[in-house]
Amino acid sequence: MNQDSLQVGRLALASCLTLFAELALIRWLSTEVRIFAYAKNLALLLCFLGFGVGCTLAAKRVRWWRSIQALLALILLVRNPWTPPMFEGLSQTLGAGQDTAIWFAGTTRNWPNFALAAAIVGILFFLLTSIFIPLGQIVSREMDSARSRLRAYSWNLGASLLGITLFFLVSWMALPPLFWFGLVLLGFALLQDDWKRRFAVAVLIVPAVLLLHEKATSDHFSIWTPYQQLEVEDYHFKNGEWEATKIAVNHVGYQLTVNLSPEFLGRHPGTLEQPIDESPYNLPFRFTAANASVLVVGAGTGNDVAGAVRSHSRFIDAVEIDPAILNLGRTHPEKPYASSTVAAHLSDARAFMKRTQKRYDLVLFALLDSHTLQSEYANMRIDNYVYTEESLREARNLLSPNGVLFLKFQVDREWLGRRLYLLLSRVFGKPPVVFLAESSYGAAATCFVISSSGQVEKSLVQDPRLRTFVARQNRTFDSMPAVPLTTDDWPYLYQEKRSIPAIFLTLSVLVVVLAFYYRRTISIDRAGQSSLFFFAMGAGFLLLETQTVSRLALFFGTTWQVNGVAVASILTALVVGNLIVEKYGQRFNRWWILIGLLVALISVYLVPFSRIPGSTLAVGSVAAILFAVPVFFAGLLFAGEFRSTPSPSAALAANMLGAVFGGLMENLSLVIGLKALLLIAALFYLVAGLGLRNASTSESAVLELQVGNEGESAADSARVT
């Protein structure tokens, strides 16, 4: 094998491993240290920071030992049996406060404990950053020595796409983290310079796998779904009969599968303390006509679907986004998903509501709330687009003339209940009926019930027991201060105000502090005058990528497949742009490309996608094409300058550090909304143009100086002659 092939292989392996390791570490940390589940993109920025620092050290000895130590220390710190309770307390401490809703976190902050928790997270941040430094060194070193920079860059992009694909593959196969990190360490071993080091690193796979191994029995086991970790535990009565199944997400209780069939409750009369028709799973059907048509979004393991079957519903569409949860639902003791009246749909709730042509007597939001973020590239949870004004209007439009919308939610912040109350009031033009449905067997919920007709009021008149129950359990949110309502542009249901919550500010400050820690190491001067260009390009592109992923999720669903396709499409557009520049680069004017990029960004910002006629698929396809245009222009512009930069490694470093800065700017969407990020991205690209102009001016000055010196030398020679 010749030297060029070895270099390409080493570059491709390091690039692939970088993306795979990023996704693996972000996903794993967001599960084991729950606070990361609410701010995944910050962990991504730390990976970028480490990689960027590595790029500045391309000429130095590769820091493998520190990186491997950091990875093993991170696994040991998180997985040893003594510290997990500390990390759960850390999550509750950092998440406490009124400004955002994080499960099981209090409403008041203990500032000394908050500072201590932040310091511990800072240690995790440092370890995470250290892991990626040698990968940055290898990629940038191979870029510097490559005969064709653009070809090497194409290999980098293509291998990065492969890394994303591999991680989505292991996620689809529901493989646990011991496989993820076994592959990461194997990749580290293959990148070593000699067989002794390769063997030494490969041996470390054994202790890592042992630390990550999770004990499992038939009654207590874990499943790593494409979205989250599920911890499943069966409970039994003293006689051994099944009692309930508890499902925890990220080590926090999430769902409880229960059996409310008359036969089961007859055998265990003390299980349910409330009257059966006051269970949260039976109450929705007391507000509708007999034999209702039902849509259940967030169907989960099937408790609400079972309630619909028991009420003799005519047909039931059950929508659940997580395939593992849906499969667990098929083992529900009442077998609701086996009913001939039930159609199960593995889909995002919003995407299903956009596409269905049916009308329902009952649309039931079944405790659809989430710990899990939509993507590593955005601070949005899976359910953010479900609880917006536009989404609730779509749900209203699915109702039959006397249809009822029944929304169940765990309201642990009063302002959260106020927001849902005001959203429904605006959408339906009148306030909903609100009450608390408690349960000794299953999950309690605050219930919001409303219809466009008088069906809810009619049900209360016709059922005195229901009317008495609702009056007794009434919850009121109409006298509280107003809160901003969620929209598709500002979908942050779990945030009280249009501001950056303390937890996001704190974690962002930690990223900045860590960047300052590396300030002596970071040097991007070798990129010359174009450092500003590459830095601004990184910042703008991160915001453009965030916007693309979140917008496409709105049309096609917040599923892991959509996220994967969106990111893969972005990388593919960059590869195409790179190949075009490599072949036809001399024919393109950089300034026209920049103008095209800015025009494309402003066009995407101005297009009113909600007003475009046609199906959701058609409109979403138009959006995907429009968002691909600025990505393509950005790729052309970057590749054109990367081809001629004095130091590819320094350019990559500036670009990655710019991406870190752009990622921090993403938090501004919590104040100004998602769409405005396009304008901020455009501003960064204008700054990139300024950097380009400065670099061009510098190049012209150097050229003029060289020409002048040559002229003077020629004149001197003539005089001598």
pLDDT in tens, 600-645: 999 999 998 878 887 777 888 888 888 889 999 999 999 988 988 8
pLDDT at 601: 94
Q: pLDDT band for 292, please (50, 70, 90 cuts).
A: very high
pLDDT at 673: 92
- Which of these, 91, 35, 466, 492, lies nearest to 282 by C-alpha position? 466
Is position 257 within any domain? Answer: no
Mean pLDDT, range 131-145, rounded to an integer: 93
* Residues 443 and 555 occupy one common structural domain: no
pLDDT at 64: 93
State the average pLDDT for the chain: 87
Summarize pLDDT for 237-273 with one digit per residue, the tens: 998 999 999 998 888 888 899 999 999 999 998 899 8
CB 444 within 8 A of CB 280: yes
Please check the confidence at residue 713 and state whether its pLDDT lies above 50.
no
pLDDT at 1: 55
Is position 237 within any domain? Answer: no
pLDDT at 276: 93
Please check the confidence at residue 677 and state whether its pLDDT lies above 60.
yes
* Residues 534 and 436 occupy one common structural domain: no
* Residues 462 and 528 occupy one common structural domain: no
pLDDT at 472: 95
pLDDT at 259: 96
Q: Which residue has the higher pLDDT, 571 or 560?
A: 571
Please check the confidence at residue 523 and state whether its pLDDT lies above 70.
no
How many domains does the chain divide into? 2
Is position 179 within any domain? Answer: no
* Residues 432 and 549 occupy one common structural domain: no
* Residues 365 and 450 occupy one common structural domain: yes
Q: pLDDT band for 702, please (50, 70, 90 cuts).
A: very low
Mean pLDDT, range 399-424, rounded to an integer: 94
* Residues 587 and 647 occupy one common structural domain: yes
* Residues 442 and 529 occupy one common structural domain: no
Q: Which residue has the higher pLDDT, 335 or 373?
A: 335
Please check the confidence at residue 526 and state whether its pLDDT lies above 60.
no
Q: Which two tokens stand for residue 577?
A: 């742009």
Is position 605 within any domain? Answer: yes
Is position 136 within any domain? Answer: no
pLDDT at 698: 53
pLDDT at 706: 46
pLDDT at 705: 43
Domain that holds residue 332: 269-370+389-472
Q: Which residue has the higher pLDDT, 325 or 369?
A: 325
- Which of these, 521, 679, 656, 711, lies nearest to 47 by C-alpha position? 656
* Residues 338 and 468 occupy one common structural domain: yes
| Alpha-carbon gap, residue 596 to 579, rounded angstroms | 18
Is position 57 within any domain? Answer: no
The CATH number assigned to the domain holding 328 equals: 3.40.50.150
Residue matched to tokens 């190049």: 699
Its sign, for the CA torsion 56, 60, 61, 65, is negative
Please check the confidence at residue 341 and state whether its pLDDT lies above 80.
yes
Q: pLDDT band for 2, please (50, 70, 90 cuts).
A: low
Burial code (b: 16+ CB inside 10 Å, e: under 16) for 516-538 equals ebbeeebebebbbbbbbbbbbbb
* Residues 278 and 402 occupy one common structural domain: yes
* Residues 292 and 400 occupy one common structural domain: yes
Residue matched to tokens 């001016």: 697
Q: pLDDT band for 717, please (50, 70, 90 cuts).
A: very low
Please check the confidence at residue 710 and state whether its pLDDT lies above 70.
no
* Residues 427 and 299 occupy one common structural domain: yes
pLDDT at 207: 93
Summarize pLDDT for 31-61 with one digit per residue, the tens: 888 777 777 678 888 999 999 999 988 888 9
* Residues 552 and 416 occupy one common structural domain: no
pLDDT at 377: 55
- Lowest mean pLDDT across 204-218, 497-511, 515-529, 695-709: 695-709
pTM for the whole structure = 0.89
Where in 18-161 does DSSP place strands (E)? none
| Alpha-carbon gap, residue 336 to 306, rounded angstroms | 5
Please check the confidence at residue 84 and state whether its pLDDT lies above 70.
no
Is position 23 within any domain? Answer: no
Q: pLDDT band for 380, please (50, 70, 90 cuts).
A: low
CB burial class (10 A; 0-12, 13-18, 19+) of residue 218? exposed
pLDDT at 521: 66
Q: Which two tokens stand for residue 57?
A: 């050290």
Please check the confidence at residue 466 and state whether its pLDDT lies above 50.
yes
pLDDT at 707: 44
- Lowest mean pLDDT across 30-34, 442-446, 703-707: 703-707
| Alpha-carbon gap, residue 639 to 582, rounded angstroms | 8
Is position 145 within any domain? Answer: no
| Alpha-carbon gap, residue 51 to 140, rounded angstroms | 9
Residue 286 per-residue DSSP state: G
User: How far lies 524's CA from each of 334, 531, 541, 645, 650, in Å?
Assistant: 63, 7, 19, 12, 5
CB burial class (10 A; 0-12, 13-18, 19+) of residue 471? exposed
Mean pLDDT, range 276-303, rounded to an integer: 94
Please check the confidence at residue 518 and state whether its pLDDT lies above 50.
yes
The CATH number assigned to the domain holding 563 equals: 1.20.1250.20
